[in-house]
């Protein structure tokens, strides 16, 4: 009886792991803009729908929309210029740009499908239109590269693996294994996030350049983010992103490539 109990758990564990791995690898598609093969289980239409549905709730988390139509329109104009001048216009996404009323949080983010937000806390720290374009271009990079959808697919995979290991180790002897699996899972997520940020920086720089903005201004954006995170309140934009020093090195390399073309 003891033995068959273990075997059942083992079978269940393998089943859960197997199912999530199959689900993950079946869900790959070619990115319509970048041509990259990606593991995503959402269609672009689902991404757009998901972004539009969650936008009001996301906005509410940051004090709602900033109550100044002139500022809102100025941001939309910059964002639309970036989309119009670049490959982003060929994407299936519906881009829109919003300023959030939260004056303390220094942040910008993109929902899947093209809804992009910048807090007034970050906006008031930026010094010119180029820098605003840098932030928005970076966020457009997240959307075009489908980072949210990739992240969701990856989390589904990780959840299955962690669940499988936990079920397999439920006799108490293997809790170490479960913890290791969870730790590895979070490490993969972390690394994934950093790669996404650097990739979005790269795309953002190209979008700036193609739209007539100065990509060098992105270096100043990094310094501004660094200054903002120096206070007691850690900037979410900066904390989920690689260190500004590393990003500045990569940004300078990419600008050299862009200008060398």
Q: Which residues are at the interface with Zn ion (CB under 5 A)?
A: 197, 200
- What is the distance between the alpha carbons of residues 57 and 65, in angstroms, rounded to a whole number? 11
Nearest partner of 75 among 105, 99, 94, judged by Cα = 99
**Closest separation between CB of residue 113 and Zn ion, Å?**
16
**Closest separation between CB of residue 260 and Zn ion, Å?**
25
Q: What share of the chain is helix, strand, coil (3-state, %, to 5)?
A: 65, 10, 25
List of E strands, 50-206: 96-100, 108-110, 115-119
- Could you tell me if 137 and 84 are in contact, meaning their C-beta atoms sit under 8 angstroms apart? no
Using the minimum distance from each CB to Zn ion, give the nearer residue, 39 or 202.
202
Both tokens of 240, joined, read 């989920």
**Closest separation between CB of residue 110 and Zn ion, Å?**
8
| Polymer length of the chain | 261
**Closest separation between CB of residue 149 and Zn ion, Å?**
15
- What is the distance between the alpha carbons of residues 112 and 90, in angstroms, rounded to a whole number? 16
Using the minimum distance from each CB to Zn ion, give the nearer residue, 110 or 181.
110
**Closest separation between CB of residue 153 and Zn ion, Å?**
18
Both tokens of 81, joined, read 């210029």
- Could you tell me if 66 and 45 are in contact, meaning their C-beta atoms sit under 8 angstroms apart? no
Using the minimum distance from each CB to Zn ion, give the nearer residue, 23 or 194.
194
Using the minimum distance from each CB to Zn ion, give the nearer residue, 54 or 240.
240
Using the minimum distance from each CB to Zn ion, give the nearer residue, 91 or 200.
200
């Amino acid at each position: 009886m003891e033995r068959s109990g273990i075997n059942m758990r083992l079978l269940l564990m393998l089943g859960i792991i197997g199912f999530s791995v199959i689900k993950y690898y079946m869900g790959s598609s070619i990115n319509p803009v970048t041509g990259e093969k990606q593991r995503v289980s959402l269609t672009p239409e689902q991404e757009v729908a998901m972004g539009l549905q969650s936008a009001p709730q996301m906005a509410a988390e940051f004090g709602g929309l900033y109550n100044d139509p002139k500022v809102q329109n100025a941001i939309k104009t910059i964002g639309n210029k970036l989309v119009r001048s670049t490959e982003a216009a060929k994407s299936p996404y519906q881009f829109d740009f919003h300023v959030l009323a939260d004056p303390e949080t220094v942040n910008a983010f993109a929902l899947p499908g093209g809804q992009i937000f910048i807090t007034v806390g970050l906006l008031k720290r930026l010094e010119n239109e180029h820098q605003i374009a840098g932030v928005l271009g970076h966020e457009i990079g997240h959307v075009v590269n489908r980072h949210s959808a990739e992240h969701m697919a990856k989390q589904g995979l990780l959840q299955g693996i962690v669940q499988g290991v936990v079920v397999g180790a439920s006799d108490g002897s293997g809790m170490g294994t479960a913890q290791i699996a969870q730790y590895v899972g979070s490490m993969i997520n972390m690394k994934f996030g950093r790669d996404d940020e650097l990739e979005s920086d790269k795309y953002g720089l190209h979008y700036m350049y193609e739209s007539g903005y100065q990509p060098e201004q992105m270096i100043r954006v990094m310094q501004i983010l660094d200054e903002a995170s120096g206070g007691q309140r850690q900037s979410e934009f900066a904390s989920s992103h690689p260190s500004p020093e590393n990003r500045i090195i990569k940004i300078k390399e990419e600008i050299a490539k862009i200008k060398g073309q």
